Amino acid sequence: MDDVTRRTLLTATAAGGFLAAANAGAQTNEPVPQRPGHGGTDPGPRNLARDRQNPDLLVPPSTDHGTLPNLRFSFSDAHMRLESGGWTRQVTVRELGVSKDIAGVNMRLNAGGVRELHWHKAAEWAYMLYGSARITAIDAQGHNFADDVGVGDLWYFASGVPHSIQGLGPDGCEFLLVFDDGDFDEDNTFLLSDWFKHTPNEVLAKNFGVAGSSFEHVPDPSELYIFAAAVPGPLDSDKIAGTIPVSPTLSHKMLAQQPIKTKSGTVRITDTSVFPASKTISAALVEVQPGGMRELHWHPNSNEWQYYIEGQARMGVFAASGQARTFDFQAGDVGFVPFAMGHYVENTGTTPLRFLEVFKSSYYADVSLNQWLALTPPELVRAHLKLDPQTLAALHKEKFPVVPA
């Protein structure tokens, strides 16, 4: 899609209609998969709402080429599991087949709602989206952890670490969970009640040194998982006296970090350099103002898994061998960029764009196209791209993650 066609399409969308690039600019209520000399009308059947949400799929930029896999999936298209204490939904390799090493879960806990005591094989990294929650855990050395987390806070539970999450007042919480295994399934975690119900009472009695009858009223696992409970008291009331706290801490305040700032946005990077407990997941929280763009770059150490928190975006991905594809995103969508592929993320809306870049890595790394060219001998760059002296002089030797800088 050329810039004029795209601007026309997006402007008309905001007004509740479309101006088709075809037919000499004639007005229509339907977006048309057509650019001058290419494409045609679409008499249907069709899903107009989807077409309006994905203008770069309907009319791809002329620079798109090849058959890259799908790199987008929306949590709105994921199955919702409803429980007495809240709800959960997930995007795994089943929903987004290209994401082999990261899966995501979006969960809501009502005030008092508890995600049952459990553990799993994958490590869990979380970003708080709404409200507040209490999290608890212990490590293999018997060290204790309990904390209250709010919007923008993170936590990290390594594989095998038992933990719980509970929504606090006044309205519970919503959060994003990221797991370092694309095959992760939220329905296949190790649940406390499930183990009790599948262990003979005489074994439980021997283990805990009490009568077997003590365990006759353990609820069925179907009654728990995410269940309603009373809102807990102050944090100090849930801390176990005489215990040694987990170190390093399993929570982190990402929004308290000093961001990298440019004229068009901010970036906060969290990896083991500032959150030592998070050994398998690193992340960046990116904010892009209207008209700004996460610069052309790539990541030399890992695939990128994205979660869009706010705003509208389009992402172009370059896969080498003449392959490139463009996708559109809005709040609640998941994006993916395969290892080392060049890409950009542009704010296409009228409000700030905020999204998470998440990596299965202990450290964050990216390579800026602009910086690479600026730090390469100018004559060598000129020989490749035929750039004039003014363009060469405009290249940035410092990295500006959000442009215009």
Number of domains forming the structure of the chain: 3
Say which amino acid occupies 349: G
Active site amino acids? 357
The annotated binding site for Mn(2+) is made up of 118, 120, 124, 163, 297, 299, 304, 343
What pLDDT was estimated at residue 239? 86
Are 158 and 23 in the same domain? no
273 versus 16: the higher-pLDDT residue is 273
Last residue of one domain, picked from the residues 252, 284, 318: 252
Positive or negative, the Cα torsion across 146, 150, 154, 156?
positive
Counting residues of the chain whose pLDDT is more than 70, the rounded percentage is 93
What pLDDT was estimated at residue 23? 42
What pLDDT was estimated at residue 170? 97
Are 94 and 171 in the same domain? yes
Are 155 and 246 in the same domain? yes
Domain membership flag for residue 71? no
Are 47 and 112 in the same domain? no
**DSSP conformation class of 69:** P
Are 161 and 86 in the same domain? yes
What pLDDT was estimated at residue 30? 86
Are 248 and 266 in the same domain? no
pLDDT surpassing 80 at residue 18: no
The whole domain housing 48 covers 3-58
Last residue of one domain, picked from the residues 217, 252, 287: 252
Taking alpha carbons only, the member of 200, 184, 201, 190 closest to residue 224 is: 190
What pLDDT was estimated at residue 177? 98
Are 220 and 337 in the same domain? no
The Cα 325–Cα 201 span in angstroms is: 58
Domain membership flag for residue 24? yes
pLDDT surpassing 90 at residue 259: yes
What pLDDT was estimated at residue 187? 87
313 — phi, psi (to 5°)?
Answer: -150, 160
Average pLDDT, the chain: 93
Domain membership flag for residue 167? yes
17 — phi, psi (to 5°)?
Answer: -155, -175
Domain membership flag for residue 65? no
Taking alpha carbons only, the member of 192, 178, 179, 175 closest to residue 86 is: 175
Domain membership flag for residue 188? yes
The Cα 244–Cα 249 span in angstroms is: 12
Are 241 and 304 in the same domain? no
pLDDT surpassing 80 at residue 285: yes
**pLDDT confidence band for 189 (50 / 70 / 90):** very high
Domain membership flag for residue 20? yes
Are 202 and 341 in the same domain? no
What pLDDT was estimated at residue 28? 57
**pLDDT confidence band for 372 (50 / 70 / 90):** very high
Are 103 and 130 in the same domain? yes
Domain membership flag for residue 68? no
pTM of the model: 0.91
The annotated binding site is made up of 118, 120, 124, 163, 297, 299, 304, 343
Instruction: Please identify which residue in the block is written with the tokens 């969970």.
Output: 177
Are 279 and 316 in the same domain? yes
Are 128 and 241 in the same domain? yes
Work out the average pLDDT over 14-35: 55
Last residue of one domain, picked from the residues 218, 252, 286: 252
**pLDDT confidence band for 85 (50 / 70 / 90):** very high
Per-residue pLDDT tens over the stretch 326-356: 999 999 999 999 999 999 999 999 999 999 9
The CATH code of the domain that includes 348 is 2.60.120.10
Per-residue pLDDT tens over the stretch 101-146: 999 999 999 999 999 999 999 999 999 999 999 999 999 999 999 9
